[in-house]
Amino acid sequence: MPIYEYTCTPCGKQFEELIVRKSDEAQVVCPACRSAEVKRLISRPAATPGSGDGGGGGFGGPSCGPIG
């Protein structure tokens, strides 16, 4: 269930909306002014500090614990 970030055109408020169904996108309204004139912002990529290309590639790095 992706959470999209929206910005309201009339009042400029930014808010996040949980989109369960595709049809929910058409029903998103501003929580402040109840306007349907909202724009969906580009979803922010996950924060990946130290990400760079040209790495060796492979799993088994230091982590907080086993995944899965």
Q: How far is the CB of 25 from Zn ion (least distance, A)?
A: 17
Residue 32 or 41: the one with the smaller Cβ distance to Zn ion is 32
Question: Where do contacts with Zn ion occur on this chain (CB under 5 A)?
Answer: 8, 11, 13, 30, 32-33, 35
Residue 24 or 36: the one with the smaller Cβ distance to Zn ion is 36
Q: Supply φ then ψ for residue 3, to 5 degrees.
A: -110, 120
**Dihedral in degrees, nearest 10, Cα atoms 29, 33, 35, 40:** -50
d(C-alpha 51, C-alpha 55), whole Å:
9
Residue 25 or 58: the one with the smaller Cβ distance to Zn ion is 25
